[in-house]
Amino acid sequence: MAKNITGNNQYLKEFNQAVVLDLIRQHKRLSRKELSVLTGLSPTACGSITRTLIKDGFLYETGQGESTGGRKPVMLELKPGSYYAVGFDIGMNELKMVIADITSEILVQRELKYSQGISTEKVIDIIQEEFFKTIETEKLSHEKFLGCGLSIPGILDRETNKIIMAPNLSWSEVNLGSRIREVLDMPIYIENEAMCSAICEHWIGECSNISNFVCINVESGIGAGIFIKESIYRGHSGSAGEIGHLIVNENGRLCGCGSKGCLETYASTRYMLTEISEKIKSGYSSDKIVQSMGTLTWDMIVNAAFKGDELCVKVLERGAVFLGFAVAYLINTLNPEAIVLGKSFTSYAPLVMDLLTKTVKERALAYPASRVKILTSNFGMSSSALGAAMIPIRKVFGK
């Protein structure tokens, strides 16, 4: 019995600490009296909790607030630079790394290019080398890291954290998390890349005050991260959000999943880039498409589209129409308050946003469509790495 009481007391202590920290995070700065009112805990209990959090380095006193009668209260804030987390977004051609502190300030951002078809062993080597080199350069203490988040473009087994399949990386049945835990010597959290972007939006982005929303990533594949009642929704087996395989054209292109007409085959950067490259090889020419060394890149397509290139505009607009179909499906089925479009979509959003929203209005039920916000992410290609770094940080706040 005593053991259970001890365990319950420890849980309650940690729970109350997380509540206090999260209130200070949300309000930026609070006094002990304000914390007592907001939590319902006694002033003595709040004093004990905040003393521990100051001692452990999570909080610090930042001067006096306004008096409501009597002495001015001492204000408390999260302590910048006290604890850190690192996030890695593993893509087809590059690895993105972010290091943030518990205030969500971004301390380091790095991008490392590599060849398509990278092996898990090579990724582990790059992560290990880049992490330890960076913390030495930046003079960050390894002991102060709360953990590492890994963003993966694929389906995960939530019970084992094994990567079931990541088609764009040609990975299947990979136990990446445990191997990186060994080389970095810290807790590892592995998550789908679209869900990482949704975590980023919920923690520091457009949806910080929104309970029900969907974050759609447009890149070499298309995926969605879903939040319902402020909680991550993964579905029964963890694959919720694979909207890239919604059928938008029944007799359309063959997809890598084996179906025809998937959204991904019309609206992902990989397929749009392939289509334009094939048209150029077949004789299409334009002075607005400036290729370097004969290689066509996504940035070149976007730049040409902004200059009015007919082919590039046509392909981007058609992709936006099909993406609008998917947004309409989500509005009809999930009735979210907001849908955030991110990753590569942000690079060409000004060209197609009006067309996409017009398509949504035509395809979605009028009432839920009139009440949803369709937004563009402010984080672009960095959102998944940022979200991955936020996962260990969120744990401190009980999330």
- Can you give the residue ranges of every domain in the chain? 2-78, 84-203+383-396, 209-378
Establish whether domains 84-203+383-396 and 209-378 are of one fold: yes
Question: What is the structure's pLDDT at 273?
Answer: 95
User: Residues in the chain, how many?
Assistant: 399
Terminus-to-terminus CA distance in the chain, angstroms? 29
On whether the CB atoms of residues 269 and 221 are closer than 8 A, the answer is no
* pLDDT tens per residue across span 173-190: 988 988 999 999 999 999
Q: What is the dihedral of CA 368, 371, 374, 378, to 10 degrees?
A: -140
Angle at 219 between CA 342 and CA 192, to 5 degrees: 80
CA distance 97 to 108: 8
- pLDDT exceeds 60 at position 7: no
Q: Which residue has the higher pLDDT, 163 or 161?
A: 163
Question: What is the structure's pLDDT at 117?
Answer: 85
Percentage of residues of the chain with pLDDT beyond 90: 73
What average pLDDT is seen over the chain? 91
On whether the CB atoms of residues 248 and 263 are closer than 8 A, the answer is yes
CA distance 304 to 288: 5
Question: What is the structure's pLDDT at 237?
Answer: 82
Q: Which fold has domain 2-78?
A: Arc Repressor Mutant, subunit A (1.10.10)
Question: What is the structure's pLDDT at 3?
Answer: 44
On whether the CB atoms of residues 390 and 200 are closer than 8 A, the answer is yes
* pLDDT tens per residue across span 272-313: 999 999 999 888 888 888 765 568 899 999 999 999 999 999
Identify the three-state secondary structure at position 340.
Answer: strand
Question: What is the structure's pLDDT at 70?
Answer: 61
On whether the CB atoms of residues 322 and 359 are closer than 8 A, the answer is no
Question: What is the structure's pLDDT at 257?
Answer: 82
* pLDDT tens per residue across span 193-250: 999 999 999 999 989 999 999 999 999 889 999 999 999 999 888 889 999 999 998 8
| CATH code for the domain defined by 209-378 | 3.30.420.40
Q: Which of the listed CATH numbers 3.40.190.10, 3.20.20.450, 3.40.50.450, 3.30.420.40 matches domain 84-203+383-396?
A: 3.30.420.40
* pLDDT tens per residue across span 340-356: 999 999 999 999 999 99
Of the ranges 3-12, 104-113, 195-204, which one carries the lowest mean pLDDT score? Answer: 3-12
Give the pLDDT mean for 152-157.
88
CA distance 112 to 284: 33
Q: Which residue has the higher pLDDT, 30 or 291?
A: 30
* pTM over the 0.85 mark: yes
